[in-house]
A and B are shown apart, each in its own frame.
Chain A
Amino acid sequence: MTAPLAPPPRKDPLRRTRQPVPLPARRSRAAEGLTRAAAEGRFMLQACPDCGTVTYPPRDACPRCLSAGLAFANVPDGGVLLAATTLHVPVGLWFRERAPWRTGLVRLDAGPTMVAHLHGDCTEGGRVRLRLMLDRAGQAAAFALPATDTPNMADDRQLREFTASPRFRRVLVTDGRSETGVAVARAMSAAGAHAVFVGVRERWKPFPEEAELAALRGVELVALDSTDERSVARLAADLGGKTDILVNTGGHVRPGGLADGRVAEFRDALERDAIGLARLAAAFGPALRWRGADRENAAVAWVNCLSVHALASWPAYGAWSAAQAAALSVAVCLRAELRPGGIRVMNVFAGPLDTDWFQAVPPPKLAPAALAAAVVDGLERGLEDVFVGDVALDIRDRLAANPKAVERELAG
């Protein structure tokens, strides 16, 4: 049974901040199929289309029939823990700092036997569920969970190295003036965040949710406008050292394409969604990266709430789609730049939201609360790419099948 997590003590200011050390990060190209599955929280292994053999580790040809057509597919995640080992003095620096560390051999019902990191409640000879999870270097690793949920399961010490739960952590939500920002602030407060700093731009403009936000447990409203270098720098000076999770909820949604001549609005969207993200990255990124291994006070994650139309332009909202595409590119760059600190950059893709600026768009539309729940869930599961809602999932799958068809259909 897992000991329940206790609120971390305040950082000892006389103690040197532990610096992040690298994990091995290179895998074969074939093995990146595991990374993709882990990023989305799926359990996928290579399955041979000719003989049906499920194989691990990833390779270029089926070890049984030599077929070259191996493809990643969802496979059952159940198995048996054959043997467990506790490493007391691991060779690698990262593991040595976190020793003792338990690993084991799991024989999957699907066939292969895999080396896995072990949850504390997994027992030798017992049934386990295997997960593909991203480690702090962003690569997929197998993690064995007990077959059924156990008390305080999420609080396991080893599991927490693979997740980024907001519980007892300090969260900065960048835009409390947006419906998404309000919903995320509510969700973070409810998920047990120790503090939820909520950025408010243009504080001289009243907004209806202000009083409700300010009354939420742990919430503190702070001045932040991602289009203003000075504002971002000032807040980073105050909060860079105590932001464990940053959730960028920006999203300057406006209908309209680009041939309509609404270039000024495109510029506004770019300023907030893409360049604003870059400003936040420049101000908060170094502090988060520096604090990525600071024991129980460590920074853990950076979340970007994006539109799935960052991946596929929706001409009815074409200017905004283009700004979102730029924001996604910034986010992917940021992910690489924060990786040395072990900071997870999670991109959450959604379709149209049930908000003012999508008022004339027919359903299905995603409630901001559902988006916020997906943010919390993704952090708790340690995901990197989250597609939430029917529209986002549909576009993800159709893009994998035929991007040209997606382009034509979104053009209307």
Chain B
Amino acid sequence: MSRDLLATLALALGSGTVEIVDLTQPLDPDFPVIALPPEFGQSAPFRMETISRYDAAGPAWYWNNISVGEHTGTHLDAPVHWITGRDLPANTVDAMPPQAMLAPAVLIDMSRAAAADPDALLTRGILDAWESEHGRIPAGAWVLLRTDWSKRTGADYAGLRADGAHTPGPDAEAMRWLVHERGILGFGTETIGTDAGQAAHFNPPYPAHHYLHGAGRYGLQCLAHLDRLPPTGALVLAAPLRIRNGSGSPLRVLALIGHDE
């Protein structure tokens, strides 16, 4: 039975009735990273230095050394990333169970609200309305928030002003409810973080980090191409690098979506 299922999937992938969508931003030196107050330690941006390029340092081969923070580019946050998840078992990326790396996803589209207001928030009201249209959010699913933020670049993407970043995200009650009332696997965004730009001023501060990681759940951020996902039915493959005691990892995120034949 399950062998048939995989064979059917392989055929569907070949025929294109199941499509693979890449939800990953390129690792690029110019891609913004989270900006903390300068007296705190900073996450390194992506950097690449040539080892050789068919030259004296390596006549027939091209390769590079790269350096990157765990939380740079499209990346996953493990529970240990936040203080609320510090004492949980298996809270690091190397201990993440493989079962969590392939999971269903639902998509909540806030792109119109985010276009009108960079501080637009995902609220309990929006979640209730979504459920009345699409059904209950299943336990163990990724909840991905579409804001079309990944179509922005540079300063427009980072949204930094004198009073901090202005980018959309969830409010505290929405996040508490998703984690504790719906038992989601994790929450994913197109912005630099899972939390809204102004989330330091929420109660609790950074509610996505607070609730997700406190319950052993995951975050995905800097996602792309969420506009190609259906509200329900996608399957997301998100497998971080197996960094020993790692708090997160850049990763390739793929979504499988089915089309009617």
Question: Do the two chains bind?
Answer: yes
* Residues of A that sit less than 8 Å from B by CB: 202-206, 223, 225, 227-231, 264-265, 268
A206-B160 CB under 8 A given contacts A230-B29, A231-B29 = yes
Give 16 CB contacts A-B under 8 Å: A202-B32, A203-B154, A204-B157, A204-B160, A205-B32, A205-B158, A205-B160, A206-B161, A223-B30, A225-B29, A227-B45, A229-B47, A229-B48, A230-B48, A231-B30, A264-B41
CA distance A39 to B48 in the complex (A): 38
* Residues of B that sit less than 8 Å from A by CB: 29-30, 32, 35, 41-42, 45, 47-50, 154-155, 157-158, 160-161
Residues of A within 8 A of B158 (CB): 204-205
Nearest 5 Cβ contacts at the A-B interface: A204-B154, A204-B158, A228-B29, A204-B155, A204-B32
Q: Contact: A206 with B29, CB < 8 Å?
A: no
CA distance A229 to B32 in the complex (A): 17
- Say whether chain B's binding surface is mostly helix, strand, loop, or mixed: mixed
Residues of A within 8 A of B47 (CB): 227-229
Among A203, A223, A264, contact of B155 (Cβ-Cβ < 8 Å): A203
Q: Contact: A205 with B50, CB < 8 Å?
A: no
Residues of A within 8 A of B157 (CB): 204
Residues of B within 8 A of A223 (CB): 30
Residues of A within 8 A of B30 (CB): 204, 223, 231
Residues of A within 8 A of B48 (CB): 229-230
CA distance A264 to B40 in the complex (A): 11
CA distance A268 to B158 in the complex (A): 22
CA distance A202 to B35 in the complex (A): 11
The residue of chain B having its C-beta at the shortest distance from the C-beta of A230 within the complex is B29
A229-B49 CB under 8 A given contacts A203-B155, A204-B154 = yes
CA distance A227 to B30 in the complex (A): 11
The residue of chain B having its C-beta at the shortest distance from the C-beta of A205 within the complex is B160
Residues of B within 8 A of A202 (CB): 32
Residues of B within 8 A of A225 (CB): 29
CA distance A227 to B47 in the complex (A): 8
The residue of chain A having its C-beta at the shortest distance from the C-beta of B152 within the complex is A204
The residue of chain A having its C-beta at the shortest distance from the C-beta of B161 within the complex is A206
A228-B29, A264-B41 are known; give 18 further A-B pairs, CB within 8 A: A202-B32, A203-B154, A203-B155, A204-B30, A204-B32, A204-B154, A205-B32, A205-B35, A205-B155, A205-B158, A206-B161, A223-B30, A227-B47, A228-B45, A228-B47, A229-B48, A231-B29, A231-B30
Residues of A within 8 A of B45 (CB): 227-228
The residue of chain B having its C-beta at the shortest distance from the C-beta of A229 within the complex is B49
CA distance A264 to B41 in the complex (A): 7
CA distance A206 to B160 in the complex (A): 7
Instruction: Give the Cβ gap from B28 to chain A, nearest Cβ, in Å.
Output: 9
Instruction: Give the Cβ gap from B7 to chain A, nearest Cβ, in Å.
Output: 44
Instruction: Give the Cβ gap from B233 to chain A, nearest Cβ, in Å.
Output: 35
Among A204, A228, A230, A268, contact of B42 (Cβ-Cβ < 8 Å): A268
CA distance A265 to B42 in the complex (A): 8
Residues of B within 8 A of A265 (CB): 41
Instruction: Give the Cβ gap from A269 to chain B, nearest Cβ, in Å.
Output: 12
Instruction: Give the Cβ gap from B1 to chain A, nearest Cβ, in Å.
Output: 51
Residues of B within 8 A of A229 (CB): 47-50
Residues of A within 8 A of B32 (CB): 202, 204-205
Residues of B within 8 A of A264 (CB): 41
CA distance A265 to B41 in the complex (A): 7
Residues of B within 8 A of A230 (CB): 29, 48
CA distance A223 to B153 in the complex (A): 15
The residue of chain B having its C-beta at the shortest distance from the C-beta of A279 within the complex is B49
Pick from B30, B41, B155 the residue with the most CB of A within 10 Å: B30
CA distance A321 to B157 in the complex (A): 35
Instruction: Give the Cβ gap from B88 to chain A, nearest Cβ, in Å.
Output: 25
